[in-house]
Homo-oligomer: A and B are copies of this chain.
């Protein structure tokens, strides 16, 4: 590194930087481009938007989209109600349990979907008996699947503000624990809660294996079925779902970028005010 960067060096840096970026980008974008190409393939190697137009008219597809969105909302609600109070409590009162909670929440990461399904089958026999054979019962599995990601997000949120001191300050001002949770903790980890929700929605909308093996018609299952009938429509729907998920990701990035204004320095004055 020279202290004064010469134009040549600057060009060198940019080159390395852009090479890396383009390589990584291509690695990830190639599948997407292939999808776009495939879904607009017309007869006689022309281009057509038929597959995209078919999306809005297939009632089976629309039903699956509804089910998947409902599942997404239920899973978000479930995982937040399960994690936020538990993790806050552990963070504030029994910090030595944090590792345990983390390990438990990471477990689903290492359990392959197929294992879950084999183990879950008998449980789902009961669940279907109790709640009826609704696809929404998938919520229970999805909450488990989402745990690792939601835990990460909320844990990062709790770590980013000094929640222990804030809670102690609120307590010494006369606040009950419930008020501490609702008035102090939740508003200050709003970004983390948004992240957890977005990841949860993205995962639920993208999940295929479990719903397929348990025979529920969620979005990805129907896309797969469609794919056997009309591959182009299936790919178009996948592409749309992907773009939707990408938009959610951008929302997440935006949410975590808030509160970036810089604090003023202490006025440095030797004089007595």
Contacts and interface: CB of A to CB of B under 8 A. Distances in A.
A245 interface: yes
A268 interface: no
A259 to B, nearest CB: 15
Interface stretch (A20-28, A52-60, A128-136, A185-193): A20-28
B27 A144 contact: yes
A97 B17 contact: yes
A110 B54 CA distance: 24
B238 A115 contact: yes
Nearest to A20: B86
Given A17-B94, A123-B34, A246-B107, A227 B118 contact: yes
Contacts of A224: 114
A24 B104 contact: yes
B119 A34 contact: yes
A28 B108 contact: yes
A114 B234 CA distance: 10
A220 interface: yes
Contacts of A118: 31, 35, 38, 227, 231, 234-235, 238
B205 A112 contact: yes
A107 B252 CA distance: 12
A161 interface: no
B144 A28 contact: yes
Q: Which 3 A-B pairs have the closest CB atoms?
A: A31-B119, A112-B206, A110-B245
6 contacts: A17-B94, A34-B120, A107-B249, A109-B149, A114-B208, A114-B220
